[in-house]
């Protein structure tokens, strides 16, 4: 691989009207990083591929994915399509011998995620999964504060994640109402938020959960009702491997969503992480207090910021952070821990939440 990592992306198209994650987050993130080059764009039609490549400043346009993965000038394949399309594209990229970055969730199911991770291990290929909260400066800082014992042994913690419910959707998002498609409040909203919690505190050892669909109907843009079975309310109580007791509330609501908040209480103090939006897309604040001190802002040190000054904020920022942190691994300099193996671990946690809710029993997770 050359010193500059040349990227080919599928799922970023100029015709999405500015709503696509690939176009709005990955493209500006890549353009902000001197160690990366957006080399190629792939869409399903030749005209949109050429238009998207021109709009994004990519040298090459492909409408056949196999042609892009075969291109020797593409070092990294990025998959940003709808979740049901992840498995086939990721497997094709890995079979072509390319490192692959796939957005989260990695697959519709745990089995799909395990299949993709297994092929990557078999081929000894580097992978990245789009759990960008793990590269957010505030999450990295909070993780280190906990590991260094800033608030002492963690006794208990809570995560609250309340997002806006989108009850009227166009064809680009109405498919998310089908639970089997694997893209819903549990997997995406909850998946990102719970992964942020685990990034700071470690993994769950046991949990009990309730998963429900409180809003069973959406509407199309022309007002047609559409039945929905994807979950929108998730409650979890559990124990971390460290022994800390935790509670999690994830929901999508029609009015005044509260954003994301993690509260952590230790023997010697407390720490709070707060984000107006999601931990993976927005900027977060860290607050802490020791003993009887009042909670105060903890500015995030510059060493946790890996992107150049002036990098675009909002959605692209933590995506750029993830690319920057993964660069050495992609060039052969070791591993990057936000990979397909982590994705499988997170899919296993989501599967445990689903099983606990379905059976009414607590579920233990592997060591």
pLDDT digits (tens, 9 = 90+) for 27-81: 999 999 999 999 999 999 999 999 999 999 999 999 999 999 999 999 999 999 9
Question: Taking 80 as the threshold, does the pLDDT of residue 16 lie above it?
Answer: no
To which residue do tokens 């509407």 refer? 219
Find the Cα–Cα–Cα–Cα dihedral 118, 23, 332, 1, rounded to 10°: 110
With CA atoms as reference, report the closest residue to 132 among 336, 334, 268, 322.
322
Chain segment 343-363, per-residue pLDDT in tens: 999 999 999 999 999 999 999
**Which residues pair with residue 237 across a beta bridge?**
208, 247
Name which residue leads in pLDDT, 140 or 333. 140
Percent of the chain with pLDDT over 70: 98
250: left (phi over 0), alpha (psi -120 to 50) or beta: beta
Question: Taking 70 as the threshold, does the pLDDT of residue 224 lie above it?
Answer: yes
Question: Taking 70 as the threshold, does the pLDDT of residue 2 lie above it?
Answer: no
Q: What pLDDT is stored for residue 19 in this prediction?
A: 56
Which structural domains are found in the chain, ordered by start?
5-132 (3.40.50.720), 136-294+338-364 (3.30.360.10)
Q: What pLDDT is stored for residue 192 in this prediction?
A: 98
Find the Cα–Cα–Cα–Cα dihedral 136, 141, 147, 153, rounded to 10°: -100
Contact partners, residue 236, CB within 8 Å, separation at least 6: 194, 207, 208, 209, 246, 247, 248, 353, 356
Question: DSSP state, 23?
Answer: I
Give the pLDDT band (50/70/90) at residue 276: confident
Rounded to whole angstroms, how far apart are CA atoms 6 and 151? Answer: 43
Contact partners, residue 205, CB within 8 Å, separation at least 6: 238, 239, 240, 241, 364, 365, 367
- Let me know if 340 is exposed, middle or buried by CB neighbors in 10 A (0-12, 13-18, 19+): buried
Q: What angle do CA 182, 187, 190 make, to 5 degrees?
A: 160
In whole angstroms, how far apart are CA 310 and each of 12, 34, 40, 46, 211? Answer: 23, 13, 24, 34, 41
Tokens of 84: 């049901």
The enclosing H or E element of 356 equals helix 340-359
Give the pLDDT band (50/70/90) at residue 98: very high
Q: Quick one: average pLDDT of 230-242?
A: 98
| CB 352 within 8 Å of CB 205 | no
Question: DSSP state, 350?
Answer: H
Q: What pLDDT is stored for residue 367 in this prediction?
A: 55
Rounded to whole angstroms, how far apart are CA atoms 107 and 84? Answer: 7
Residue 260 CA from chain centroid, whole number:
14
Q: What pLDDT is stored for residue 280 in this prediction?
A: 92
Question: Taking 70 as the threshold, does the pLDDT of residue 18 lie above it?
Answer: no
Q: Quick one: average pLDDT of 167-189?
A: 96
Q: Quick one: average pLDDT of 100-118?
A: 98
């Amino acid at each position: 691989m050359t010193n500059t990592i040349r990227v080919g992306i599928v799922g970023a198209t100029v015709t999405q009207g500015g709503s696509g994650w690939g176009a709005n987050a990955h493209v500006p993130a890549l353009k902000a990083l001197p160690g990366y080059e957006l080399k190629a764009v792939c869409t399903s039609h030749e005209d949109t591929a050429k238009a998207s490549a021109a709009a994004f400043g990519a040298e090459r346009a492909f409408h056949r994915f196999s042609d892009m993965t075969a291109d020797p000038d593409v070092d990294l394949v990025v998959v940003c399509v709808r979740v049901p399309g992840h498995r086939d594209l990721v497997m094709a990229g890995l079979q072509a011998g390319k490192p692959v970055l796939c957005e989260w969730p990695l697959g519709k199911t745990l089995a799909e995620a395990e299949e993709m991770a297994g092929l990557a291990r078999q081929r000894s290929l580097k992978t990245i999964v789009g759990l960008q909260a793990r590269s957010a400066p505030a999450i990295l800082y909070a993780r280190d504060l906990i590991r260094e014992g800033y608030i002492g042994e963690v006794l208990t913690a809570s995560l609250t994640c309340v997002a806006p419910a989108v009850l009227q959707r166009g064809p680009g998002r109405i498919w998310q109402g089908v639970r089997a498609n694997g893209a819903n409040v549990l997997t995406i909203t909850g998946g990102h938020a719970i992964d942020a919690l685990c990034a700071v505190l470690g993994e769950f050892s046991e949990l009990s959960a309730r998963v429900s669909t409180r809003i069973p109907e959406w509407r199309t843009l022309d007002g047609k009702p559409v039945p929905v079975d994807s979950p929108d309310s998730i409650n979890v109580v559990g124990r971390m491997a460290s022994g800390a007791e935790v509670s999690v509330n994830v929901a999508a609501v029609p009015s005044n969503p509260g954003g994301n908040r993690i509260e952590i209480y230790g023997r010697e103090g407390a720490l709070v992480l707060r984000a107006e939006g999601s931990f993976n897309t927005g900027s977060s604040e860290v607050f802490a207090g020791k003993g009887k001190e009042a909670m105060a802002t903890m500015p995030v040190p510059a060493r946790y910021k890996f992107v150049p000054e002036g990098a675009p904020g909002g959605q692209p920022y933590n995506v750029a952070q993830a690319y920057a942190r993964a660069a050495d691994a992609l060039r052969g300099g070791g591993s990057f821990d936000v990979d397909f193996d982590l994705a499988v671990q997170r899919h296993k946690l989501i599967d445990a939440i689903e099983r606990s809710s379905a059976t009414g029993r607590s579920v233990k997770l592997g060591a």
